[in-house]
Amino acid sequence: MRLRKITEPVFERLIKICGYSSGFIVLLIVIFLFKEGISFFNLSPVDEGSTLWVHNSNPVKELDAAQIKDIFDQKIDNWKAIGGNDQPIELFTLDELGEAFTAEQLGPKFEYLPKCIDSYMDSLPGAIGFFPEKQTVGLLKSAKEVEVDKVSFSTFISDTEWFPTSRPAARMGIMPLLLGTLLVSFFAILFALPLGLAASIYLAEIADDRVRKILKPIIELLAGIPSVVYGFFGLVVIVPFVQNTFNLPVGETALAGSIVLAIMALPTIITVSEDALRTTPRAMKEASLALGASQWQTIRKVIVPYAASGITAAAILGIGRAIGETMAALMVTGNSAIMPHSLLQPVRTIPATIAAELGEAPFGGLHFKALFALGCILFIITLIINLLVERVSAKRR
């Protein structure tokens, strides 16, 4: 008796601690994610420890990441295009330096490097140089450092290119990834919703008990299959199917991703909407039938409208599943981070990008932080989805 007086409060405390700690863990994850993600902004897109230089006479003072990439890809070859004088742009890096000067001229420890750069720059006023900070800053006379626009939230959101490893400046626009994610998820839900709704109507209203007792566990089992297995299935079945049907060079496309994600979202949609359909009072169904409505009319005009909010919740949950899905999307969508123009083209989703690139991004670097910023965006999207589900189901009660 006395023991119980001691143990019960202890257990009560323990249970309380468990409850609080789970909330605390969620908070910790969110703080950590956003700390890393937000520190991405206001970094320079140029490689750490490197600087860009132009001749003193060049009026161009500032460049953004997109312009730098175009210059070094030689898509922009005249300063005029970016507000400078009408003179051709010459790329000038350590490679050119090595060709123009001998090892002796550069000095055994590269101590003459700044001089060599100066003389090269003077002979080619249209040059743009890309050199390590150490041997240039404060040492060059002929050239001035170009200011590079920092990564901002607006370029991150609006830039249509994702080249996180391009040098000298990385381009990190979320647009292609975001659109890839939304495209794949949208079509996934477009495929899954009618199918899932039909299946849930069948289970809730038409199937007899025997059939339901077999089908329901099978559908629930579908939710338990690891996503990598879905990925395999997609790779072996869906991808070749898409490739052959549309006569494509590669089958790893947004369409293949949508189909696989649709299959993965099905169990959620079916079970949630079946539960919603089952809440329709029997009296309401009987009232409809008693008025001479057929079973189909009753389903369409009474049962589905009655369960509408539950079905909406099912659809939103399904979208959430599709948006957050990583492994299967990585395996079947083809992974090319370009702006999607059609379903029959490879795309890459946000979670797939994070999974694929995190391993090769240097810890704590620009690329690493960019991936965390992607994670933040994903978190915000799924948060909005969850809030929507909450609202819709709250309306139901």
Partner 1 sequence: MSNKIETIDVNLHYGDFHALKDISLGIPENSVTALIGPSGCGKSTYLRLFNRMNDLIPETRITGKVLLDGENIYKIKATKIDALRRNVGMVFQKPNPFPKSIFENVAYGLRVNGITDKSFIEGQVEKTLHQAALWDEVKDKLKKSAFELSGGQQQRLCIARALAIEPSIILMDEPASALDPISTGKIEDLIFELKSEFTIVIVTHNMQQAGRVSDYTGFFYLGSLIEFGKTRKIFTNPSKQETENYISGRFG
Interacting residue ranges for partner 1, rule: CB under 8 A: 208-209, 281, 283-294, 297, 301-302, 305-306
Least distance CB 217 / partner 1 (angstroms) = 21
Q: Which is nearer to partner 1, 48 or 286 (CB)?
A: 286
Q: Which is nearer to partner 1, 46 or 302 (CB)?
A: 302
Q: How many CB atoms are located within 10 Å of the residue 284 CB?
A: 13
For residues 65 and 164, is the Cβ–Cβ distance under 8 A? no
Residue keyed to tokens 């003389």: 119
Q: Which is nearer to partner 1, 16 or 301 (CB)?
A: 301
The H or E element containing residue 50 is strand 50-55
Q: Which is nearer to partner 1, 276 or 377 (CB)?
A: 276
Helix (H, G, I), strand (E, B) or coil at 145: strand
Scored b (16 or more CB within 10 A) or e, 150-159 reads ebeeebbeeb
For residues 136 and 114, is the Cβ–Cβ distance under 8 A? yes
Least distance CB 210 / partner 1 (angstroms) = 10
Longest dimension (CA), the chain: 101
Q: Which is nearer to partner 1, 103 or 290 (CB)?
A: 290
Helix (H, G, I), strand (E, B) or coil at 75: coil
Least distance CB 219 / partner 1 (angstroms) = 22
Least distance CB 216 / partner 1 (angstroms) = 17
For residues 169 and 69, is the Cβ–Cβ distance under 8 A? yes
Nearest to 263 by CA among 186, 189, 199, 342: 189
Least distance CB 245 / partner 1 (angstroms) = 40
Least distance CB 301 / partner 1 (angstroms) = 7
Q: Which is nearer to partner 1, 139 or 291 (CB)?
A: 291
DSSP track, 81-127: GGTS-S-B-EEEEHHHHHHHS-HHHH-TTSTTHHHHHHHHHHH-TTE
Q: Which is nearer to partner 1, 42 or 297 (CB)?
A: 297
SS3 letters across 322-355:
HHHCCHHHHHHCECCCCCCCCCCCCECCHHHHHH
Least distance CB 215 / partner 1 (angstroms) = 17
Q: How many CB atoms are located within 10 Å of the residue 111 CB?
A: 10
Alpha-carbon span 344 to 349, nearest angstrom: 15
Alpha-carbon span 64 to 158, nearest angstrom: 14
Least distance CB 45 / partner 1 (angstroms) = 55
Q: Which is nearer to partner 1, 86 or 209 (CB)?
A: 209
Q: Which is nearer to partner 1, 15 or 284 (CB)?
A: 284
Q: Where are the alpha helices (DSSP H) in 247-343?
A: 254-278, 282-290, 295-298, 304-306, 308-324, 327-332
Least distance CB 309 / partner 1 (angstroms) = 10
Least distance CB 208 / partner 1 (angstroms) = 7
Half-sphere exposure for 64 (CA within 13 Å, toward CB): 13
Q: Which is nearer to partner 1, 293 or 343 (CB)?
A: 293
